[in-house]
């Protein structure tokens, strides 16, 4: 970690709601003998970056989070996104950088959480950062559940999409390293996180159902760190079975 990065202060926010449309009660679902949110908290604590705060509207999740060693911020049940939930949670918390770790990422690598904040050390005006890795499976390039990203020469995102990106009109020009899968891990300067909810939604965001496109629409760069990251988001009970198999085999 560079000296400049060390001079910044960090906190990890984990938004967690009980009423998931596809998987109600997901944060409390049993995963290898523990609630799923417990696995996420433990990995966040391993980073050593700073406070770990679970933002939730559910008392059961709050109780489990406290037992796992996290702080808890009770938030409104009306938030439409985890980003908005974190914005409420961090209104009165004095910190430079907030890292948004999804509550359904029980296999998140602590090193990935550390890596996402690195660009802030070298880019004083940067407001937001995320991660990506080269697409590993050919089918993922066309899978709308796999979000793709294209970056510019400065390492900032040009666009995110559920469609093949970039489109392989000239397949010979499209090298494997150019096909990047977005990792849904974000870091923000705290003031920008609080500002985010006041940004007007854009048509591309609504069409793709990707809230990060709102940031690009309003002219803010998003730094993308590319690495060999492995993440498994749990959206369904079937995903939970895959996650449990990976945890038990580690």
CATH number, position 92: 3.90.550.10
Nearest Cα to Cα of residue 34 among 68, 60, 74: 68
Determine the structural domain holding residue 237 and report its residue range.
3-249
Calculate mean pLDDT across residues 186-192.
97
Q: What is the mean pLDDT of the chain?
A: 90
Query: Can you give the pLDDT at residue 51?
Result: 96
Q: Which two tokens mark 12?
A: 């990890």
Buried b / exposed e along 188-216 (16+ C-beta atoms within 10 A)? bbbebbbebeeeeebeebeebebbbbbbb
Q: Which two tokens mark 74?
A: 């009770």
Query: Can you give the pLDDT at residue 40?
Result: 94
Query: Can you give the pLDDT at residue 2?
Result: 44
Residue 227 has pLDDT above 90, yes or no: yes
Query: Can you give the pLDDT at residue 5?
Result: 52
Calculate mean pLDDT across residues 91-115.
94
Domain count, the chain: 1
Calculate mean pLDDT across residues 116-129.
95
Name the band, by pLDDT with cuts 50, 70 and 90, for residue 3. very low
Buried b / exposed e along 11-44 (16+ C-beta atoms within 10 A)? bbbbbbbbebeebeebbbbebbeebbbbbbbbbb
Cα separation, 178 vs 244, whole angstroms: 31
Name the band, by pLDDT with cuts 50, 70 and 90, for residue 100. very high
Most trustworthy range by pLDDT among 20-24, 48-52, 228-232: 48-52
Contact, 196 vs 215, CB < 8 A? Answer: yes
Query: Can you give the pLDDT at residue 65?
Result: 97
- Per residue in 4-41, pLDDT (tens digit) is 455 899 999 999 988 876 777 889 988 888 999 999 99
Calculate mean pLDDT across residues 108-119.
95
Residue 250 has pLDDT above 70, yes or no: no
């Amino acid at each position: 970690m560079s000296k400049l990065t060390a001079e910044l202060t960090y906190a990890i926010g984990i938004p967690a709601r009980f009423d998931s449309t596809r998987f109600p009660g997901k944060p409390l679902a049993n995963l290898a003998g523990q609630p799923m949110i417990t696995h996420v908290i433990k990995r966040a604590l391993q980073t050593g970056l700073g406070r770990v705060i679970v933002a939730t509207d559910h008392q059961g999740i709050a109780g489990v989070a406290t037992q796992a060693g996290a702080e808890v911020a009770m938030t409104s049940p009306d938030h439409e996104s985890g980003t908005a939930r974190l914005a409420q949670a961090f209104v009165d918390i004095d910190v430079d950088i907030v890292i948004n770790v999804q509550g359904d990422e029980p296999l998140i690598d602590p090193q990935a959480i550390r890596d996402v904040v690195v660009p802030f050390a070298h880019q004083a005006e940067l407001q937001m950062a995320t991660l990506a890795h080269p697409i590993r499976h050919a089918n993922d390039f066309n899978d709308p559940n796999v979000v793709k990203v294209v970056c510019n020469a400065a390492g900032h995102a040009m666009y995110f999409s559920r469609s093949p990106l970039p489109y392989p009109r000239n397949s010979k020009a499209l090298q494997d390293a150019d096909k990047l899968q977005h990792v849904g891990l974000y870091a923000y300067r705290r003031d920008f996180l609080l500002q985010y909810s006041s940004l007007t939604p854009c048509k591309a965001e609504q069409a793709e159902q990707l809230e990060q496109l709102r940031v690009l629409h309003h002219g803010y760069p998003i730094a993308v760190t590319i690495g060999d990251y492995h993440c498994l988001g749990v959206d369904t009970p079937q995903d939970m079975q895959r996650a449990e198999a990976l945890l038990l085999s580690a």
